[in-house]
């Protein structure tokens, strides 16, 4: 088991699907060859495989890597590696992830870039630190700041980069010689269930981070608004694509 339930991943999958950058996914696909092997790091239940497969060349071979066997058991048929990502990374012709690199430290992200050795990398839906609630409330600032600090705690791959992750990855990949492109892939949702679950997560993390912070009344108000579809939640994300400047030799 990880801290991510299959229910949470199912709840977020439609918002992720409409937020993912099709432009970057197509450019990623163009950097692949038929039969290439792809490793999805932190694959969970395989949402990215389901979404991106129609865009990819024929015969791509997937390896889904995750520390959580229960999540992997719900993923489509593929090679599955139940493995902590803090250890040995799998070999592959290209690497993808969704909602992973913000959980990792800059040092781990640097290790991933070194490990890829010039092979394509597509890191989707890394949080970029922006959270907006509409309508605003005077307590949002303090609660969201505590939540952002919590996102930089250790999450299993060193002190997490949190909202800096897409920028850290883009900088490191560019420095390693990749051509890097970034696209915003925000959630903008009034879906009551997704908004409620996200707001509850924010409130719980903010309380852990700043135990004295008054969060309960704010949470009760935000949940009432969410239930009536009167709360819009924007979560800022970036997709970042890193491809080699020259086509790989065949
Ligand atoms: C936010 S979830 C995203 C899951 C999936 N990519 C998706 O979009 O539905 C992060 C995933 O990374 C996995 N994960 C996080 N840290 C890990 C680690 N240190 N080792 C292995 N897996 C890890 C979790 O089990 C979880 O499935």
Instruction: Report whether pLDDT(151) > 80.
Output: yes
Nearest CA to ligand 1 atom 12: 42
Query: How sure is the predictor about 117, in pLDDT bands with cuts at 50, 70 and 90?
Result: very high
Query: How sure is the predictor about 224, in pLDDT bands with cuts at 50, 70 and 90?
Result: very high
Q: How confident is the model over 55-64, as a mean pLDDT?
A: 97
Identify the pLDDT of residue 3: 80
Identify the pLDDT of residue 246: 82
Query: What contacts 211, CB < 8 A, 6 or more positions away?
Result: none
Question: Ligand 1: does its nearest atom lie under 6 Å from the Cβ of 42?
Answer: yes
**Using CA atoms, how far apart are residues 201 and 28, in angstroms rounded to an integer?**
32
Q: How confident is the model over 62-67, as a mean pLDDT?
A: 98
H or E segment and range at residue 188: strand 187-189
Q: How confident is the model over 43-66, as a mean pLDDT?
A: 97
Question: Ligand 1: does its nearest atom lie under 6 Å from the Cβ of 157?
Answer: yes
Q: How many CA atoms lie within 13 A of 160 on its CB side?
A: 21
Query: Which of 100, 109, 201 to mutate for ligand 1's pocket (most ligand atoms within 8 Å of CB)?
Result: 100
H or E segment and range at residue 40: strand 37-41
Identify the pLDDT of residue 1: 44
Which class does domain 6-130+159-188+236-243 fall in?
A: alpha beta
Regarding pTM above 0.95, the answer is yes
**Using CA atoms, how far apart are residues 135 and 123, in angstroms rounded to an integer?**
31
DSSP state, residue 132 = E
Q: What are the tokens at 80?
A: 């599955």
Instruction: Report whether pLDDT(197) > 50.
Output: yes
- Ligand 1: centre distance to CA 4 (Å): 7
**Rounded alpha-carbon distances, angstroms, from residue 133 to 11, 111, 195:** 19, 35, 10
**Using CA atoms, how far apart are residues 226 and 114, in angstroms rounded to an integer?**
43
- Ligand 1: centre distance to CA 42 (Å): 4
Instruction: Report whether pLDDT(250) > 80.
Output: no
Q: How far is CA 58 from the centre of its chain?
A: 25
Q: How confident is the model over 114-141, as a mean pLDDT?
A: 97
Query: How sure is the predictor about 248, in pLDDT bands with cuts at 50, 70 and 90?
Result: low
Q: Is-contact 119 179, C-beta < 8 A? A: no
Nearest Cα to 230, choosing from 160, 156, 134, 163? 134
Query: Which of 2, 16, 25 to mutate for ligand 1's pocket (most ligand atoms within 8 Å of CB)?
Result: 2
Instruction: Report whether pLDDT(150) > 80.
Output: yes
**Using CA atoms, how far apart are residues 215 and 210, in angstroms rounded to an integer?**
10
Residues of the chain with pLDDT > 90: what percent? 97
Output 250 or 207, whichever has higher pLDDT: 207
Identify the pLDDT of residue 201: 96
Q: Is-contact 151 104, C-beta < 8 A? A: no
């Amino acid at each position: 088991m990880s801290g991510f339930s299959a229910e949470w991943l199912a709840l977020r999958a439609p918002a992720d699907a409409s937020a993912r950058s099709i432009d970057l996914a197509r450019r990623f696909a163009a950097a692949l060859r038929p039969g290439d092997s792809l490793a999805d790091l932190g694959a969970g239940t395989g949402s990215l495989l389901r979404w991106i497969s129609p865009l990819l060349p024929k015969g791509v071979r997937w390896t889904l890597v995750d520390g959580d066997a229960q999540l992997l058991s719900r993923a489509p048929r593929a090679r599955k590696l139940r493995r902590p990502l803090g250890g040995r990374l799998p070999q592959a012709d290209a690497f993808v992830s969704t909602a992973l690199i913000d959980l990792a430290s800059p040092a781990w992200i640097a290790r991933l870039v070194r490990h890829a050795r010039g092979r394509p990398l597509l890191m989707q839906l890394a949080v970029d630190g922006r959270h907006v609630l509409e309508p605003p409330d005077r307590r949002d600032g303090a609660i969201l700041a505590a939540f952002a600090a919590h996102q930089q705690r250790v999450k299993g791959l060193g002190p997490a980069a949190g909202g800096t992750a897409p920028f850290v990855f883009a900088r490191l990949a560019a420095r390693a010689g990749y051509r890097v492109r970034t696209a915003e892939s925000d959630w903008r949702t009034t879906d009551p269930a997704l908004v409620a679950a996200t707001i509850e997560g924010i409130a719980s993390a903010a309380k852990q981070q700043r135990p004295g912070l008054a969060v309960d009344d704010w949470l009760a108000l935000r949940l009432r608004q969410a239930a009536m579809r009167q709360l819009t939640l924007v979560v800022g994300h970036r997709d970042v694509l890193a491809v080699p400047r020259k086509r790989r030799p065949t």
